[in-house]
């Protein structure tokens, strides 16, 4: 495995690269590098190298189906080319071109999603958000460019403080933003008109897997009759969930929470939680704003047709 791919894996594990799309694009870019640097003389060897690198990338963070789906798509293409007896150098070129095209598709999907999301933002609204999602901040910045006035309340999102990233990015864009402690969500939800969060994974039932604390925020929003929307490309769908397999919830190093916890105190640090579909008003996708129950059908068609 090339040293650049090994570095990407380390950066994903340490959260230097975070966010489902950023993780997926970094992985795709790493696989392009693997293909370019491969010295494989046979298609079988090439596929073996790419498979090993892809699996290592996919296991760097367990709750990232967008990365897994893009890798599975690449392997399907590679195996079709092998079955067609494609010469190894030609296979390399075709796979590199395919991965570059995938990066363009991901970029275009984000642009479409951002447009739909910006249209959804009410004027003069208070938007509450959690963690950091480049999709969410992209939607909000696009809405501002459309001339919409609104303000944002960002939860700080312990223990890694990703809410600070969101708050700074929005402030730099000239958007009025307040950062609140996570425990203050109920108090500030009374002022909110809408909750907007990102997504790491979506199940076959339309349930959302996102940064831990999202589910709590959605429950509080329900209590105050505030609509919750998640910005999620269809590639964030987790196909295994239609077979009854639960998406694995990553649990990170407890030292992120308490570096010197007393003897006898167990520290738990789940990175994500699950928000049931019934707490969501809808998903903002590259195909438009859809009800949670529609996510499975649209995502399944998009992923399986490749």
State the helix-helix crossing angle for 20-37 and 3-13, rounded to 10 degrees: 170
Distance CA 47, CA 276 (A): 38
The catalytic position among 58, 131, 155, 207 is: 131
Known catalytic membership, residue 273:
no
How many of the other CB atoms lie within 10 Å of CB of 55?
Answer: 13
> Does the CA dihedral 289-293-295-300 come out positive or negative?
negative
Residue pair 154/166 in contact by the 8 Å Cβ criterion:
yes
Q: Which residues fall within 8 angstroms of residue 59, CB to CB, at 6 or more apart?
A: none
Q: Point out the catalytic residue in the list 58, 109, 155, 200.
A: 200
Q: Tell me the C-alpha distance between 26 and 32, whole Å.
A: 10
Helix-, strand-, coil-residue percentages of the chain, each rounded to 5: 55, 15, 30
Cα–Cα distance for residue pair 220/36, rounded to 1 Å: 49
**Catalytic-residue membership of 155:** no
Cα dihedral 182→184→185→188 (10° resolution): -140
Largest CA distance in the chain: 64
Distance CA(299)–CA(23), nearest Å, equals: 19
Distance of CA 165 to the CA centre of its chain: 16
Supply the residues annotated as catalytic.
Answer: 131, 200
């Amino acid at each position: 495995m090339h040293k650049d791919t090994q570095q990407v894996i380390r950066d994903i594990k340490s959260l230097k690269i975070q966010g489902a799309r950023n993780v997926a694009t970094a992985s795709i870019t790493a696989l392009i590098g693997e293909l370019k640097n491969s010295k494989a003389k046979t298609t079988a060897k090439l596929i073996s190298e790419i498979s090993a690198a892809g699996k290592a990338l996919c296991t760097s963070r367990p709750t990232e189906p967008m990365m897994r789906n893009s890798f599975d798509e690449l392997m399907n293409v590679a195996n079709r080319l092998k079955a067609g007896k494609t010469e190894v150098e030609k296979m390399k070129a075709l796979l590199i071109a395919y991965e570059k095209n995938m990066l363009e598709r991901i970029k275009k999907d984000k642009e479409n999603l951002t447009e739909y999301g910006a249209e959804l933002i009410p004027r003069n609204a208070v938007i509450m958000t959690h963690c950091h999602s480049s999709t969410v901040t992209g939607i909000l910045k696009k809405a501002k460019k459309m001339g919409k006035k609104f303000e944002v309340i960002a939860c700080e999102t312990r223990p890694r403080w990703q809410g600070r990233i969101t708050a700074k990015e929005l402030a730099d864009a000239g958007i009025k933003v307040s950062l609140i402690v996570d425990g203050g969500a109920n108090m500030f939800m009374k002022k909110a008109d809408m909750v907007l969060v990102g997504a790491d994974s979506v199940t076959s039932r339309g349930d959302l897997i996102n940064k831990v604390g999202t589910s709590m925020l959605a429950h509080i929003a329900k209590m105050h009759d505030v609509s919750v929307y998640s910005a999620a490309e269809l590639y964030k769908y987790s196909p295994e969930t239609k077979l009854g397999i639960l998406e694995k919830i990553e649990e990170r190093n407890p030292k992120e929470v308490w570096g010197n916890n007393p003897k006898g105190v167990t520290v738990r640090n789940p990175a994500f939680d699950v928000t049931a579909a019934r707490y969501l008003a809808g998903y903002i996708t590259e195909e438009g704003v859809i009800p949670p129950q529609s996510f499975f059908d649209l995502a399944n068609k998009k992923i399986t047709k490749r």
